[in-house]
Chains A and B, each alone.
Chain A
Amino acid sequence: MIQGVQIELISADRLKNLTGMEKIRTILDSVMLGNVVVLERGLSPDEQSLLVEYTMMEIRPGGFSGIEMETYPGSEAESGGIFAKIFGGRKKPQGRMTVIGPAGQLKMLKIERDRLVAWASLSSGR
């Protein structure tokens, strides 16, 4: 039997047609099955806040222990910094490619502005 980690790559088009709660459920349901989810375009800040809130509600002692999530750090313009404020007002931050996986199974090794290196384990490590 082949053992491994399932990686689910979700396109921006697929996410665009979902409501905030549908996005959260899609991600959480997949991660709770042990999958690593890669979003082509990440979540909005409010959706990230909801994801943390609903992740907390799903944590069970001895079972699901939460998520590991990483996004590229945004650039100055994307984060609505001083240049964005001067030129063309406050730009709404766009989500960037995001990796989400089960805590204990996914570990981020390297995070740079345009590069993420992640390591996924077959077991939860407990």
Chain B
Amino acid sequence: MSMFSRAKNRFRRFFQSIFRRSRSRIGIYGPPNAGKTTLANRIVRDCSGDAVGPVSEIPHETRRARRREDVVITGANGNTLALDIVDTPGVTTKIDYHEFLEYGLEQDEAITRAREATEGVAEAMHWLREDINGVIYVMDSTLDPFMQVNIMMVGIIESRDLPVVILANKTDLPDAAPSRIKSAFPQHPVVSVSGLEGTNMDELYDIMTEHFR
């Protein structure tokens, strides 16, 4: 490599280090069992061939925020965007370990799960105020979108002026009514998806590349 090329590369790295924008941290938030980890896995698998974490029908399977760095999203519009994706525990105001016993867990296991879940939710709320640049808010489109946790979380996200894309998830289920979510939150982009089947993910990636830039 010539002296000129080395000097040119040094200059390029120097200017990149000064002007390069750090990657946005996009938090995947929503109530328990809305399909956040399934969706995070789908996004990361589509974009890097890997996965974020395990999924389960027992609430609070994700009890610690999991971060996947440098995920490159490419929209059908040709735009690309590098992000850190943070999968968070389901937001709730109550956690009772007895609920986990109903899924066949032993008492000790249920208590440990409850304790970890409370720590995870507290951490996720703290991160929302301190460490997140944008939010994918996931709702189960078979449920009432006017649940208090949804109203509260969208209010918190709006008050912090964070860009948000709302996902009406689980459209593969027969009771899914994504139009209710669109009517409930007309001020935000709402994308109907099935994280499980991977339907309509292209529209999500398009909107992400436009919205989180």
Contact partner of B186 (CB less than 8 A), chosen from A46, A48, A55, A81, is A81
A71 touches B148 (CB 8 A): yes
B94 touches A103 (CB 8 A): yes
Interface Cβ pair total, 8 Å cutoff: 94
Q: A80 contacts which chain B residues (CB < 8 A)? A: 158, 187
B155 touches A56 (CB 8 A): no
| CA–CA, A50 and B121, complex, Å | 11
Binary contact track B99-117/A, C-beta < 8 Å → 1, others 0: 0000000000001001100
With A61-B111, A80-B158, A81-B186 in contact, do A66 and B125 touch (Cβ < 8 Å)?
no
Instruction: Tell me whether B173 is interfacial, beta carbon within 8 Å.
Output: no
A48 touches B146 (CB 8 A): no
Instruction: Tell me whether B152 is interfacial, beta carbon within 8 Å.
Output: yes
Q: B151 contacts which chain A residues (CB < 8 A)? A: 71, 73-74
With A48-B152, A71-B148 in contact, do A104 and B119 touch (Cβ < 8 Å)?
no
Which residues of B does A touch, CB under 8 Å? 91-98, 111, 114-115, 118-119, 121-122, 125-126, 128-129, 146, 148, 151-152, 155-156, 158-160, 186-187
30 cross-chain CB contacts under 8 A: A45-B159, A46-B129, A48-B152, A49-B129, A49-B156, A52-B91, A52-B122, A52-B125, A52-B152, A53-B121, A53-B125, A57-B118, A59-B94, A66-B94, A67-B94, A68-B93, A69-B152, A71-B151, A73-B151, A74-B151, A74-B155, A79-B158, A80-B187, A81-B187, A82-B186, A82-B187, A93-B155, A93-B158, A103-B93, A103-B94
Known A56-B119, A73-B151; further 8 A-B contacts with Cβ < 8 A: A56-B121, A59-B114, A62-B97, A66-B94, A69-B152, A81-B187, A93-B159, A103-B94
